[in-house]
A = this chain, B = another copy of it.
Amino acid sequence: MIRMVNVKKLNGELQEYDPAKLRVSLKRAGADDKHIDNILSDVNKILYDGVTTRKLFKFVFSQLKKCDPKTSCKYDLKNAIMRLGPEGFAFEEYIGYLFKHLGYKTDLNQFARGQFISHEIDVIAEKGNERLMVECKHHKEAWMGTSIQIALYVYARFLDVKKEFSAPVLATNTQFSGQVMKYAKGVGLRLLGWRDPKGSNLALYVEKFKLYPVTMLDTLSKEDLKNLLRNKIILVETLAAKSEAEVVKVLGISRQKAKKVHDQAVALCPSCKLS
């Protein structure tokens, strides 16, 4: 059966529904073909012209959660990174870990003396001759692209401190507009967004380094999450490497609940489990 159905994106644009794309995203999360086939056929039953991507995502997520709970939290990764907000410090920590995995020595929230004023730099990342000035911009809404104003101010900040750095980087959890990409290319501002640039983006690194944020764990309450982030426990691997007793202590929750949380963390990062 071929029928043309348009899906309404978060920014209001319409886009033809493409089951192949949905298959790729489910595959990427780790779902197996049988589950994917079932979900795609279920989607066909609820599709209608103008359905929002949010509604579609929610449906697919709930179906996947029923048949493959472990995979469903990976499917929710982008939203999990959204949930690192709103204060921004957790996302800075997160980007710090990412650069560590890329082989950089990192330093967070350090002041750098510029030609005219001092600047607090979110992440300083050093490797060999490179010393990067990384500015982090966390958006709590998926449709928020990074505005040109942000790209402009990051570059101007770099100009003031450029004696100390080799290049500026703007890291964000969403996308960049065409204008931002053009400007960044022109002035030499490096971008790190959710799926940009191709070959070296956040989505890709998250999977490659298993850089799973604790906001993926649906065994945690909102209060527990806040507690973890406040204690600078940003990654699932950090939690998985703790003992259950430590989880009890950090979160002030029951042994039984701590076991649930810890089990989910270990299932996502099995190599981090304490021996």
Please, which residue of chain B has its CB at the minimum distance from the CB of A147?
B153
Q: Does A187 contact B (CB under 8 A)?
A: yes
- Interface stretch, picked from A155-163, A216-224, A244-252, is A155-163
Contact B157 A152 (CB under 8 A): yes
Q: In the assembled complex, how far is the CB of residue A116 from the closest CB belonging to chain B, in whole angstroms?
A: 3
- Please indicate the chain B residues that have their CB under 8 angstroms from the CB of A150 in the complex: 153
A227 within 8 A of B: no
Please give the distance in Å from A122's CB to the nearest CB on chain B. 13
Contact in complex: B183, A116 (CB < 8 Å): yes
**Once the chains are docked, how many angstroms separate the CA of A182 from the CA of B179?**
30
Whether A117 lies near B153 (C-beta < 8 A) is no
**Which residues does chain B contribute within 8 Å of A115, judged by CB atoms?**
186
List of B residues within 8 angstroms of A159 by Cβ: 156, 159
Q: Which residues of B contact A43 (CB under 8 A)?
A: none
Question: Is residue A148 within 8 Å, beta carbon to beta carbon, of the partner chain?
Answer: yes
Contact of A186 among B116, B148, B183 (CB under 8 A): B116
Identical copies of this chain, number = 2
Asked if A153 contacts B149 (CB within 8 A), the reply is: yes
CA distance A117 to B149 in the complex (A): 12
Residue of B nearest to A185 (CB): B116
Write the chain B residue with the least CB distance to A180: B117
Partner of A152, one of B152, B182, B183, B186: B152
Highest count of chain B CB atoms <10 Å: which of A153, A159, A183, A185: A153
Complex alpha-carbon distance, A187 and B159, angstroms: 10
CA A179 to CA B157, docked complex, whole Å: 13
Give the CA-CA distance A143 to B95 in the complex, in Å.
32
In the complex, which residues of chain B have a beta carbon less than 8 angstroms from the beta carbon of A183? 116-117, 160
Within the assembled complex, what's the spacing in Å between the Cα atoms of A141 and B205? 41
Task: Evaluate contact between B182 and A117: CB separation under 8 angstroms.
Answer: yes
Contact of A156 among B117, B152, B179, B182 (CB under 8 A): B152
Which residues from B are CB-within-8-Å of A179? 117
With a cutoff of 8 Å between Cβ atoms, the chain B residues found around residue A148 in the complex are: 117, 119
Q: A152-B152, A159-B159 are in contact. List 18 more A-B contacts (CB 8 A).
A: A115-B186, A116-B182, A116-B183, A116-B185, A116-B187, A117-B179, A117-B182, A117-B183, A117-B186, A149-B149, A149-B153, A150-B153, A152-B156, A152-B157, A152-B160, A153-B153, A153-B156, A156-B156
Q: List 14 A-B contacts (CB under 8 A).
A: A116-B182, A116-B183, A116-B185, A117-B182, A117-B186, A149-B149, A149-B153, A152-B152, A152-B153, A152-B157, A152-B160, A156-B159, A159-B159, A160-B183
